[in-house]
């Protein structure tokens, strides 16, 4: 497989800007693995597939689940029956009209072990909810019956690694059942996949855009999704320096995941706009509460008050992403003044607590990796801030694989770790909470907290869920099992000829509602 790295090669793959109808070109650092939703996938595969297929529901701008192919979703009083009414006159790329039979066929395709759908265990009762039955009483209605209530069922249907449970036409597979290509309802359809070079999508001219209160404006993976260009080309450029050069030379139009360290350079480049949005990820200082030294609650409190969170977040994120001490991300609709409360930067209080803790200057290891510049720089600043109040912190730099081994086994004192985005606060809390005896990677093993998180995952009432998250936040600030620092930013850079491009919380490029001037 060839790799296109030189300027001359890029010109052949991308097309010259001298021509009038160049596609909207978005850089990817690696090729996709598959075009099948949730099968043999990776992050880039998810990005491309989400332009082709759509699910019954999808994530909105702040991670909340909203209708997509469904016009409405009704949940029974016992929380075990979900009734989806399909939007009328939705077309597949082959011109046929979407009906409940297509939803049922797609679900059976995903749940067939031969398909290899990565999320089958999320719906067969092994790892999550158990879907007992799917019924189609008429062409516009689909009914999912669950074994028991689950507040994260719609969230699981929307997951990107599950392909958003995208609805497919049965002609997406060959007569022998093997995968051919995705025939979905999305704003773009697959035109060409030239492996190692680019994936080309073309405008679906009969795309059924959402209208009414839920449509008309872009909203995550739902809302208005008009295809405003004839072609989108995801261009494979493995080298980040080459990507930046390509943008500056007008050989590509969009960098969707610009490194924070490259922001100043791109902001100074003529004809280039840099934009950003808060994300749903988290970077934090993990603390091993079973360590002989750090099991001391007073010492952990001293550590929490020794960090200048504003200064740290501004420094490592180029002032693009503020600090956040809550497990609930800033971009979440559940984040409010309760979650805004954190540990005040107070060196004098930190030194007082340090004295009260009985700390005798024992060396404390802080593990970091240079794999991610922001995380490494955060570790350097944390070390300096803790040393300034008298905490003897040693920075141990490891390769990423070695750091992950320490994280998974819990063999560390302190460790700076980035977490990938979770769409729901219950999932964010679950990522850090659990029994350390069976899951050493967990940092918070408070039995009451674990019980509350399980309740939040099952609860359907939003206000009750919010109350649980508020309670968890207060408990977390008191226990200090880890120290969230910031959520980070999705940073995009694009040519001034591009209109309508917008980064967002899920850190995925969206080519719909985006136009390009020649």
CA distance 191 to 227: 14
pLDDT at 420: 85
Stretch (H or E) spanning 254? strand 254-255
Q: At what angle do helices 447-458 and 425-432 cross, to 10 degrees?
A: 150
Closest CA relative to residue 321, chosen from 496, 507, 480, 43: 507
Q: What confidence tens digit (pLDDT) does each residue in 2-35 have? A: 445 444 455 545 544 333 368 999 999 999 999 9
Question: Is 274 a residue whose pLDDT tops 90?
Answer: yes
Q: What confidence tens digit (pLDDT) does each residue in 33-81 have? A: 999 999 999 999 999 999 999 999 999 999 999 999 999 999 999 999 9
Contact 158, 69 (CB under 8 A): no
Residue 281 DSSP SS3: coil
Q: DSSP characters for 95-127?
A: SPBP-HHHHHHHHHHHHSGGG--TTGGGTBSSS
CA distance 199 to 26: 10
Q: How confident is the model at residue 127 (pLDDT cuts 50, 70, 90)?
A: confident
Strand partners, 490: 277
Average pLDDT for the chain = 93
Question: Is 144 a residue whose pLDDT tops 90?
Answer: yes
Contact 426, 457 (CB under 8 A): yes
Q: Report the sign of the C-alpha dihedral through residues 252, 28, 179, 82, in that order.
A: negative
Contact 180, 169 (CB under 8 A): no
Strands 254-255 and 218-219: unpaired
pTM above 0.85, yes or no: yes
Closest CA relative to residue 317, chosen from 279, 270, 365: 279
pLDDT at 8: 42
What is the mean pLDDT of the segment spanning 137-144?
Answer: 98
Contact 198, 236 (CB under 8 A): yes
Residue 76 DSSP SS3: coil
CA distance 486 to 279: 10
pLDDT at 216: 61
Question: Is 331 a residue whose pLDDT tops 70?
Answer: yes
Q: Where are the alpha helices (DSSP H) in 146-252?
A: 153-158, 240-248
Question: Is 128 a residue whose pLDDT tops 90?
Answer: no
pLDDT at 18: 36
CA distance 192 to 107: 26
pLDDT at 12: 44
CA distance 518 to 413: 55
pLDDT at 11: 52
pLDDT above 70 as % of the chain = 95
Contact 118, 161 (CB under 8 A): yes
Who's near 427: CB < 8 A, 6+ residues apart? Answer: 152, 155, 457
Question: Is 205 a residue whose pLDDT tops 50?
Answer: yes
Residue count (the chain) = 518
Q: What confidence tens digit (pLDDT) does each residue in 297-324 have? A: 999 999 999 999 999 999 999 999 999 9
pLDDT at 518: 78
Q: How confident is the model at residue 261 (pLDDT cuts 50, 70, 90)?
A: confident
What is the mean pLDDT of the segment spanning 323-334?
Answer: 96
Q: What confidence tens digit (pLDDT) does each residue in 402-448 have? A: 999 999 999 999 999 999 888 999 999 999 999 999 999 999 999 99
pLDDT at 157: 96
Stretch (H or E) spanning 409? helix 400-409
Q: What confidence tens digit (pLDDT) does each residue in 441-498 have? A: 999 999 999 999 999 999 999 999 999 999 999 999 999 999 999 999 999 999 999 9
| 182 HSE (CA, 13 A, CB side) | 30
What is the mean pLDDT of the segment spanning 372-378?
Answer: 93
Question: Is 213 a residue whose pLDDT tops 70?
Answer: no
Residue with tokens 């009209």: 97
């Amino acid at each position: 497989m060839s790799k296109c790295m030189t300027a001359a090669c890029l010109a052949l793959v991308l097309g010259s800007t001298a021509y009038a109808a160049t596609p909207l070109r978005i850089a990817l650092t690696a090729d996709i693995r598959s075009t099948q939703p949730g099968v043999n996938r990776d992050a880039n595969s998810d990005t491309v597939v989400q332009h082709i297929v759509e699910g019954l529901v999808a994530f909105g701008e702040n991670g909340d689940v909203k209708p997509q192919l469904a016009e409405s979703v009704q949940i029974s009083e016992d929380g075990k029956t979900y009734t989806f009414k399909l939007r009328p006159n939705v077309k597949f790329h082959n011109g046929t009209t979407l009906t409940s039979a297509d939803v049922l066929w797609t679900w059976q395709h995903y749940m067939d072990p031969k398909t290899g759908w990565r999320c089958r265990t999320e719906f067969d009762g092994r790892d999550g909810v158990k879907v007992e039955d799917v019924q189609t009483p008429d062409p516009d209605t689909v009914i999912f019956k669950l074994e028991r209530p689950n507040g994260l069922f719609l969230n699981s249907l929307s997951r990107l690694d599950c392909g958003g449970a995208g609805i497919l036409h049965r002609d997406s597979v060959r007569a022998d059942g093997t995968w051919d290509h995705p025939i979905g309802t999305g704003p773009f359809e697959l035109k060409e996949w030239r492996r190692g070079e680019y994936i080309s999508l073309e405008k679906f001219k009969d795309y059924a855009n959402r209208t009414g209160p839920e449509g008309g404006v872009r909203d995550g993976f739902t809302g208005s999704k008009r295809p405003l260009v004839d072609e989108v080309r995801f261009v494979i450029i493995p080298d980040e320096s080459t990507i930046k050069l390509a943008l500056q030379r007008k050989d590509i139009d969009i960098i969707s995941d610009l490194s924070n360290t490259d922001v100043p350079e791109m902001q100074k480049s003529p004809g280039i706009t840099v934009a950003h949005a808060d994300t749903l990820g988290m970077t934090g200082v993990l603390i091993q509460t079973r360590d002989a030294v750090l099991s001391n609650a007073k010492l952990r409190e001293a550590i929490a008050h020794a960090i200048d969170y504003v200064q740290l977040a501004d420094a490592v994120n180029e002032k693009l992403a503020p600090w956040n001490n809550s497990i609930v991300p800033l971009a979440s609709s559940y984040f409010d003044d309760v979650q805004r409360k954190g540990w005040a930067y107070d060196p004098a209080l930190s030194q007082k607590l340090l004295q009260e803790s009985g700390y005798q200057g024992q060396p404390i290891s802080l593990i970091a990796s240079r794999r991610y510049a922001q995380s490494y720089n955060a570790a350097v600043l944390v070390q300096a801030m803790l040393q300034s109040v008298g905490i003897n912190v040693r920075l141990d730099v490891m390769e990423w694989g070695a750091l992950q081994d320490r994280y998974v086994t819990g063999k560390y004192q302190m460790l700076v770790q980035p977490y990938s985005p979770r769409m729901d606060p219950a999932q964010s809390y679950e990522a850090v909470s659990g029994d350390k005896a069976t899951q050493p990677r967990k940092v918070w093993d408070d039995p009451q907290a674990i019980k509350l998180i399980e309740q939040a995952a099952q609860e359907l009432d939003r206000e009750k869920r919010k109350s649980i998250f508020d309670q968890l936040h207060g408990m977390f600030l008191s226990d200090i099992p880890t120290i969230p620092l910031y959520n980070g930013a999705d940073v995009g850079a694009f040519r001034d000829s591009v209109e309508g491009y917008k980064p967002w919380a899920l850190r995925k490029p969206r080519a719909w509602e985006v136009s390009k001037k020649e």
